[in-house]
Structure 1
């Protein structure tokens, strides 16, 4: 596929050999150290980092037929999905770039690619900065159907919603209209039942799923207010019926005031009659310790919560951003004020 119209800072489109050396390397230059071969007959300058997600996507996309598109994590990353970095759950292993080819095998299997030959409606392909990608809901469904666990599938849905690329309802409609009878489609319904449009990170999703196995499903990032309408805190997770809040903390707290803020948060929770339980990075590999702390928090909270000191009723000045639909309705100025988490780097 020709990507001559692609416009995206930081990426370089592979080019074929050019005997004149104007639009690409000469054959002799291509054989040297200043150029890197990306695929048969395609090259980029050697300084171009092949590990960058966007660059990997472009190098794969040049192999697409005219009717094809990138999909899955690649389509979501290219569309601005903050948490779709093309890495596996370990944060190191590079995932293959998924390509939707339609029903004609025109690209040979090769390392670094995940090929899909399912029927592809041209109406499901959008161009973003010159690169063809499948509609966001289809890209999410691709990720969910290929997920190795239910937790990974739910994370894909939640993080697509985090970046406002697809709502739970949009994903559900796509699956019902286009994927009936396809392999692994039942995974989509299971993932959507557990999904939440207001999760802010993959680790929060992991904590919520662990929490929900043994206790009532908590609310995600719900703001808690004082009776006078002032904002008190917005915990990662909250069970308002039992008075237990949860926070994920993957940082080592030394210096820079971080420890002080954590202690202040714990003190505020106690003043409100709430129990705070924290999940740390070490809990990701073995969640038993976290579940033990969570059970202890529920026991301590039982029968001693004071609801009069806080409320979930939102005051008039507060703007609710808990769903994809509400976030999409915000003005640019409102987004800058109320959604700083979406522009901050992960």
Structure 2
């Protein structure tokens, strides 16, 4: 888990700082900045985002308030929950129990959704929802079913180095709440979720590919070997029926070393009767989506059905003793 021990103490209400000996004149000076009225933190803090946003939200919370959604997941060490989607900041969502008086502010969204005792974790100076409940709230608040799926797959992924929850835990939270806005897309996301997706772009790419060719039984991050037991690669998506491989390229893949490695791996896959289609993040845009789906369909139709199959997903004996392979089992 990331070191976030400083976050709860980063932003404080003026009254708490004055009780600690900070004068009101100091609070008005250059040593402090005020993200919200009555709230202060030391000026010039170089904390990595989203730490300051989470700290400001915690500073606003009173008794009965519980941090949820992406901020709760971030505090608890989950990956891909930095509070940004497609370049836009997401609000910090705070569940407000009876008697709390927290108003909406820029970047802060109070919610009156009820929470159950087993869905809250007390972190001494503030409370957060469990990872499963935070994921449920993220699914409810997602702008569409695909982003709801991104939330649950990133929270439950077993191939990412992170703290994670389980699909069963998220389903249990879902079952405990009824008549909540957003449940239809949360239900859909749970029905389509996999624990093997390694990034949000992989999940989004899978949804585009499924729509393009109708394949439902994708093998996700599954090792592929040649017939001599050599590892060819671990593609994001593999259609086991046609040998179509789809790779989702995030920002890291634009680096020259990664780009070259992608090309070499792609050539090796093609040499073994697999067809590779690479999808970059820009190709997910509304303007590019039709062309992206056409590329996927063309990739599926290119392999020669009479060409012998030169690959397998059957794991050789050495795989079980190879430490890097543990991530993908």
Query: Above 0.5 in TM-score?
Result: yes
In structure 1, how many angstroms separate the alpha carbons of the residues matched to 2:168 and 2:15?
49
Q: After the TM superposition, which of the residue ranges 53-62 and 239-248 deviates more from structure 2?
A: 53-62
Deviation (angstroms), 1:20:
9.7
Q: Which runs of 4+ in 1 moved over 6 A?
A: 18-22, 252-255
2:305 to 294, 303, 306: 303
Deviation (angstroms), 1:189:
1.1
In structure 2, how many angstroms separate the alpha carbons of the residues matched to 1:250 and 1:18?
45
2:72 is aligned to 75
Please list every run of 5 or more consecutive structure 2 residues that lacks an aligned counterpart in the other structure: none
Deviation (angstroms), 1:282:
2.4
Deviation (angstroms), 1:257:
4.0
Provide the secondary structure at the position in 2 that maps to 1:289. helix
Change (3 A) 1:154 1:51: same
In structure 1, how many angstroms separate the alpha carbons of the residues matched to 2:153 and 2:320?
21
1:154 to 140, 149, 167: 149
Deviation (angstroms), 1:44:
1.0
Q: After the TM superposition, which of the residue ranges 155-164 and 196-205 deviates more from structure 2?
A: 155-164
Structure 1 position 203 matched with structure 2 position 201? yes
1:59 is aligned to 56
Structure 1 position 29 matched with structure 2 position 26? yes
In structure 2, how many angstroms separate the alpha carbons of the residues matched to 1:310 and 1:45?
58
Structure 1 position 127 matched with structure 2 position 87? no
CA contact (8 A) 1:235 1:246 kept: yes
1:108 is aligned to 103
Root-mean-square deviation (Å): 3.0
Q: What pairs with 1:123-272 in structure 2 (closer than 5 Å)?
A: 123-128=118-123, 130-162=125-157, 163-176=162-175, 178-215=176-213, 216-217=215-216, 218-251=218-251, 256-272=256-272
1:275 is aligned to 275
Deviation per residue, 1:28-63 (Å, 9 max, x gap): 111112211234433111112588212211211122
CA contact (8 A) 2:64 2:99 kept: no
Instruction: Give the number of equivalent residue pairs.
Output: 318
Q: State TM-score, norm by structure 2.
A: 0.86
Deviation (angstroms), 1:119:
2.0
Q: State TM-score, norm by structure 1.
A: 0.82
Q: After the TM superposition, which of the residue ranges 201-210 and 107-116 deviates more from structure 2?
A: 107-116
